[in-house]
Amino acid sequence: MYFIVRVTASQEKITSDIIQNKAAKGANDIYSIIMPFGMKGYVVIEAASEIACRDLILNEPHVKGMLSKPLEESELEKMLSSKQATQQIAINDVIEFFGGPFKGYKAKVIKTDSGKDEITVELMDVAVPIPVTTKSNMARIIQKANQVI
């Protein structure tokens, strides 16, 4: 059975290390500890029973609690395999930021780096166009190069 444990955001790695060390010392029925990418504030523990999981996380730092309903293996697979559809941002596309410090600004893409998932843009409607590098997941395409969407 898989149990979702709520932890302090950005403390998932530390918490899972602490829990893993505790599980290694004891004779608990703990099989695995999973830190799902993209799920801040949660750790998934595979255990034989809810009691074994609760005993493991009891009085541990950064642990805020455990969700009452365990996950089935099929639900966990869906959660881990679902990936956000990535948009193909290309050079000369016009994008609009929907988050971050440039929220609401429009910009023209001058460089892309798919390995780091980053784009370099020049902000439009500013006095001096300065190149800015940011994550591409903070922007959406509003006009493809030579096309209107």
pLDDT of residue 4: 94
38 bridge partner residues: none
| pLDDT tens profile 69-111 | 998 888 888 777 655 555 788 899 999 988 888 888 999 999 9
Quickly name the fold that domain 2-81 has: Alpha-Beta Plaits (3.30.70)
Does the predicted model carry a pTM greater than 0.85?
Answer: no
Quickly name the fold that domain 94-143 has: SH3 type barrels. (2.30.30)
pLDDT of residue 106: 93
118 bridge partner residues: 113, 135
pLDDT of residue 113: 87
Report yes or no: 42 and 56 within 8 Å, Cβ to Cβ: no
Q: What is the CA radius of gyration of the chain?
A: 21
pLDDT of residue 108: 94
pLDDT of residue 148: 53
Rounded alpha-carbon distances, angstroms, from residue 149 to 2, 95, 144, 146: 43, 11, 7, 10
Name the stretches of the chain with pLDDT < 50: none
Beta strands in the chain (DSSP E): 2-7, 30-34, 42-47, 63-66, 94-97, 106-113, 118-123, 131-135, 139-143
pLDDT of residue 115: 79
Q: Domain map of the chain by residue range?
A: 2-81, 94-143
Structure tokens at 93: 């596309």
Mean pLDDT of the chain: 87
Nearest one of 133, 86, 128 to 109, comparing CA atoms: 133
